[in-house]
Structure 1
Amino acid sequence: MSSDRKTSETVVSFNDARPLETLFTRLGCGFGQNVSVENLPFANDDVSIGTESELQTSVQGNANDVDLPQTIRQSTFFSNLYKRASSGETNKKPINKIERYLARAPENTWENSWVRFPRRYLSPYAQKVLGRDLLLDKDDPASGSRKDSGKFVFLQEGEEWLRLPVSYLLKLSLADAVGDGQFSVSIRNRGVAMLDNFLNDNTSPETHSFYLAPSGQKVNAPQTAADESALRFFVSQLAVFYANEKLGLGANRQRAVVYNSPHPPVRQRELNDLVPDSFATRFLAEAI
């Protein structure tokens, strides 16, 4: 009987309107006919929208100037294959296919190639960002450089050059632009905060929302999210244009391009069939 009485009392207490009224009032929602739907927990206005975009990249330029064809020709894989084919040790068909690939880039366009330019083009702040990103531990300046930093920095004719994926170039370009002192502190701080919205996976740049789009009865949430996505794409275009003009790509006969595409480039699939996975591993590096 004691157990039944407690259960009954609990049900009566739960169904009593007074605790609910107190709760809703404390939440600022009102109660009964005065309830405010917009102030209810997890109502429509509580939803926000963020998006992530993945872009495609290419570098335009002569095979003697662009990173991808140079890297292929300078690789141990290509050298060994060429020697074996020349000596008759192996069929010449594989090396001939690679030679055709390197000789027939439509409009001198190299999909997913990296870029190369002298390090001196970077502003002091961009140099600082790059130096931190190449640390073994980004939060520990004493940790030293990453073991694979040689894949990103090399000497050419006695000068230090950078070899970078376009996905990281976008971040470094933005850092260079906002760090040269021509903008106000507020704009610089906003630009610095946006650096982390540019992600590097060594091939396709990934960006995520600069801000979350609100929703609600008075807001067209899909349109707001689309507007933010378009703004992010525009900033990406500005960053790559800046890199072409200010970071020495154009001066070194390269032009980076960033664009939207639902499918990987056809020539990228062709290249994947021509080179072994071990080459791709040596060609790339851990993301910066």
Structure 2
Amino acid sequence: MTSGGEGDNEAVSAMHFPDLIAEMHDHAGQTVEHDVDAGAARLNAWIGKRSKRSAGGEPSPPPDSEKFAVFYQRMIIRIRTHLVRLGAPPELAQDLAQEAVMEAYVRWSTLKNPHRWVVRQAVSQFRAHQKALREATSPSPSAAPEPRRPRRVTCGSLVAEIRFDQDVTVCTLTGELDMLASPRLRDELLSLVDAGRKYIVLEVSAVRFFDSTGLGVLLLVRRRLQDKGGAIALAGAQPLLIRLLTLLNLLRELPAYPSLATATSAVLEAAAVHSTSDTDKERR
């Protein structure tokens, strides 16, 4: 996410790019089932241009849409099957496969063998996820259990400061949430969810840049939390981010609040509602 008029115009103009995912599903004879997936996909062409521009060069021409649609359809199935055989849950395998294929779209002109690259990329991300999960769930060597201590994690150009406040995990982000920082942040947040941290607040007031890969990470974490009865909220979101979420119709999935206090209260309220629901089910 950038500040100023130029970044604002680029974020809005992203809505006018061809919806690459929808186009690929059309070629494959499928339909897009959820507005969230289609909305996040609208930004992929835009982030391709932004990533090349930030590297100091002109954006490279994308692959032919029909050829890439065939590549997308074949590789998604192949990678997902391979990751499931390696032990990945089907949902995680699908997410990692889509991320790898879409990153290949961004890097297309630099890849000598895209088929081999996407498989290696997806497997590498799955291994990183497994490692982060093991580190998060491994027992402490100390004799007595201690409260989790705050920690600082560097994710490329992004710094995440994580602290634990009873049931709520507060993650303060500083820097740029781009395609380089997103994989590490994704693994960190998913490891928290898998370790039982079901209520997460992301403090994003100091995030200077926010692209579609970062948005995809938040949607993935939100879906995983929802499956476990949890919730996520954004605190201190800048007006440009709120406008982007509004354009993509994602404020329901990623609710944004002006302050950390209001976001924490909203998440705790969701926790109370979920606890009451569980109690009613037990009584029945």
Which TM-score band (shorter chain)? under 0.3
TM-score by length of 1: 0.23
From the two aligned structures, give the one with the greater helix fraction: 2
